Amino acid sequence: MDILMIILLVLLVVCAVVVSFIKSLTASVIVYGSFSLIVAVIWMILESPDLAITEAAVGAGVTGLLFYATLKKIGRIKDADENYKESDN
C-alpha cells in the first residue's frame, strides 16, 4: 500500500507541475480533472469515502465542467462544427 501511495503522490506533483506549464487551456482542464481524481483515490485509500465522493464529484466533475463551459463562453474553445466549417474553406 505504501508503494501505491508514493506513486499517487508523485502523480499529484507531476499533475501540478504539468498544469503550470501547459499552453493549451483545454488540456490544462483535463490535467486538473486528473489531479482531482487522483486525490479522490487517495481519500479512498485513507478510508474516507465521503471525501472521495465529494472530491470526485466537485473537483473533477462540476469544476471541470464549469472551467470548460467558461472557456467555451469566452471563445477559447471552438465548437466541432466551427472547426469542420473552417477546414472546408
d(CA 4, CA 62): 27
C-alpha cell at 53: 465522493
pLDDT in tens, 13-54: 999 999 989 988 888 889 999 999 999 999 999 999 999 999
Tell me what pLDDT residue 34 has.
92
76 contacts: CB under 8 Å, gap ≥ 6: 25, 26
Using the predicted structure, report yes or no on whether residue 80 has a pLDDT greater than 90: no
pLDDT range class, residue 60, cuts 50, 70, 90: confident
Tell me what pLDDT residue 12 has.
94
53 contacts: CB under 8 Å, gap ≥ 6: 40
